[in-house]
A = this chain, B = another copy of it.
Amino acid sequence: MTTMSAPATGHDDHAGPDDAATARVDVAGLSELLLGRWPDQRRRARARAGDPFYAKDESLTPTEHRERVLEQMRAMVASDDKLSWLAFPERLGGFDEPGANLACFTELVAADPSLQIKSGVQWGLFGAAILHLGTPEQQDRLLPGAMDLSVPGAFAMTETGHGSDVDSIGTTATYDPETEEFVIHTPFRGAWKDYLGNAAVHATAATVFAQLITNGVNHGVHCFYVPIRDAATMEFLPGVGGEDDGLKGGLRGIDNGRLHFTGVRVPRTDLLARYGSVAPDGTYSSSIDSPGRRFFTMLGSLVQGRVSLDGSAVTAAKLGLAIAVKYGAERRQFAGAQGEEVVLLDYATHRRRLFPRIAEAYAGHFANERLLDLFDDVFSGAQDTPERREDLETTAAALKSTSTAFALDTLQECREACGGAGFLTENRITSLRADLDVYATFEGDNTVLAQLVAKRLVADYGREVKGATRTPAGMARFVVERATSAALHRTGLRRAQQALADVGDPRRAAGHLRDAETQRELLADRVATMVEEVAQAMRPALKADPAEAARILDENQTALVEAARAHADLLRWEAFTEALATIEDTGTRLVMTWVRDVFGLTVIERNLTWYLLHGRLSDQRARTVTGYVDRLLRRLRPHVVDLVDAWGYGQEHLRAAISSGAEAERQDEARAYYQALRASGNAPVSEKALRKKEQKQR
């Protein structure tokens, strides 16, 4: 280490002269890379999403929209490529390709989020419940109707009284050995099934989650296949009732509704029996002993909803950003230095609004790719271990809760960045945002998901500590290491070291930040430290009485959620960094490295207080973060249109009047008008100009 200044390399401290020359984006090549592991399927799904037949028609009434979406789904079933069946068993006409299935599902958001989510209800929830919770016999018997839409189905898990806490639902399924039937029953209003897609109008059956009671014992929540409507008359079957959820903030092409059951009888064999079954005499049996683990295994098999919402949210954010960037690259407002009006993207504030979100969309994209890998490993059976399942569930919860929030924030920023034009439905963004809104709370409320993630992180930390401190020597080392680390950070020793290293050279401080290892260390250290801190703070809860334990949890709840978010940031950064290595074109890799740096450094910038108070960054280095990010944003300016083009969405996907080049045409027309006017000699002089002239002459 030396305190001498590094040689100056010009105004730009990141890219040398060579760099500046090589920076470019090979749009076609990057686009190909982004197609990921199942490029052909994804390409077909994207083409389908750009087919006008599947495009959201904003002019329809909610009733018409619901019917149209059903019609679109029927067309999907009738189509040759059967993309909706990718996840289903080959023996039933499917393809056994769970990962490819989700990749394709993700693309559907570009057509119409209502179509996506109603498809998700039919094939990803109703169908998937039969697939994952049913026995092979039940799959053979019940899946074909779900697959070919001859049985539109609802997924009846959530109740008015219980959303996130599925374990506490009120619906009961009581076994009657005399008739070998289960009696499905809704004991009170709060136990009505609620918010169910397909339930208000189209569903003729439902997978109903209920407390399984047999021989006087409640074995917890299980899933039952329950016909609910007469397919001919579409009237509710005896004992079944319900109502329409009515209008919603978005997704108006889906018929969400409520269902309730009064002594509805289904055969014993329609308990989806993969993880638990009841013999004719009422004896319950399960391959999983612990009722708790059994419950989480059943729910865990439905993780694909979260995986696919994560990818869909990133896709929706991309669509919004592509629209706003294309408009921002043409739209001009207020005259600049040379008299000509300035393009919006040339304003620092506009770059700040859009570019870091482009970087985050890329990070989210790569993280979703890794999540799809993990999902496919588990659900294809290639690596279906309890550990991988647990990883998958934690990662899905971390990313879904992050990306859905990101998408909403981004779509809002994009809408505002397009001004009044952004508010018009013809420019798409408000429509997308309204539809995406509920992604933040369905398939797991984001705040609840973040807590799940944090609990897992804290549990892992606990296991590690237990492992490391099993011997007295290990314990001693552990204690010393923790004490040293705390002393180093809290006393500001590390900050002092950084300050010394950077003396006299602010560029060295910025150079430090652009180093990938530095970014990784800063992001990873933050997660580890937050988890350790919150784990330590919560230790007393283990031995406290319930009230005191609740108080301790309450005091640490916000920190738990923060730790989960930090974990998601790290996951995304790591996925992005891994992906960089796979980019072969030098110029593209350079630009994408800047994009990755923007992601990493804006995450660090958002959490700068934490880094300062935990002694991870000196004041001097912290001060350089914002300026360095701003410089990176300027450097990315010539490449951002390429960067959004590489996502591979054309006008048939964006479908926004302002992203079509109309704005540039209008400006050309105006410019031509003023030029002709000046040439004609009939142009009025401005009073302002006259007065300036007068003043000069005085």
Contact = CB atoms under 8 A, between A and B. Distances in A.
Nearest to A662: B189
A188 to B, nearest CB: 5
A382 B384 CA distance: 78
A447 interface: yes
Given A246-B425, A247-B425, A688-B291, A415 B437 contact: yes
A673 interface: yes
Given A190-B669, A249-B424, A416-B440, 5 more contacts: A168-B334, A168-B341, A195-B423, A248-B430, A608-B609
A269 interface: no
A337 to B, nearest CB: 4
Main secondary structure of the interface of A (DSSP, over half): helix
Nearest to A251: B423
A58 interface: yes
23 contacts: A58-B247, A163-B420, A164-B333, A168-B334, A168-B335, A187-B673, A190-B669, A195-B420, A245-B424, A248-B424, A249-B425, A249-B431, A250-B430, A337-B547, A337-B549, A337-B550, A338-B546, A338-B547, A347-B557, A348-B557, A420-B442, A423-B437, A423-B441
A250 B609 CA distance: 38
Given A408-B412, A437-B415, A673-B188, A550 B217 contact: no
Contact of A434 (B220, B434, B669): B434
Interface in A464-494: 492
A679 interface: no
Nearest to A294: B687
Contact of A612 (B163, B211, B250, B619): B619
A558 interface: yes
A354 to B, nearest CB: 12
Copies of this chain assembled into the complex: 2
Name the residue in A158, A190, A408, A431 with the highest tally of chain B Cβ atoms < 10 Å from its Cβ: A190
Given A608-B609, A623-B613, A670 B246 contact: no
A320 B249 CA distance: 14
B420 A291 contact: no
Contacts of A284: 687
A61 B61 contact: yes
A262 to B, nearest CB: 14
A573 B195 CA distance: 41
A630 interface: yes
Interface in A341-358: 341, 346-349, 352-353
Interface in A400-458: 408, 412, 415-416, 419-420, 422-426, 429-431, 433-434, 437-438, 440-442, 445-447, 451
Interface in A288-328: 290-292
A115 interface: no
A145 B347 CA distance: 43
A156 to B, nearest CB: 14
B419 A163 contact: yes
A35 to B, nearest CB: 32
Interface string A42-78: 0000000000000000110100000000000000000
A378 to B, nearest CB: 27
A353 B170 CA distance: 29
Contacts of A241: none
A170 B670 contact: yes
Contacts of A557: 347-349
Interface in A626-667: 630, 666-667
Contacts of A246: 424-426
Contacts of A188: 666, 669-670, 673
A609 B611 CA distance: 9
Contact of A630 (B59, B216, B558): B558
Contacts of A492: 619
A336 B250 CA distance: 34
Contacts of A688: 220, 291-292
Given A609-B608, A609-B609, A673-B188, A334 B165 contact: yes
A66 to B, nearest CB: 15
Contact of A249 (B195, B217, B338, B415): B415
A130 B59 CA distance: 37
A90 interface: no
Interface in A373-415: 408, 412, 415
A687 B608 CA distance: 49
B423 A248 contact: yes
Interface string A547-558: 101100011011
Contact of A613 (B408, B619, B691): B619
A523 interface: no
A283 interface: no
Nearest to A620: B613
A558 B666 CA distance: 29
B163 A690 contact: no
Name the residue in A353, A558, A630 with the highest tally of chain B Cβ atoms < 10 Å from its Cβ: A558
B446 A249 contact: no
Contacts of A667: 161, 190
Contacts of A191: 670
A352 B334 CA distance: 40
A550 B339 CA distance: 11
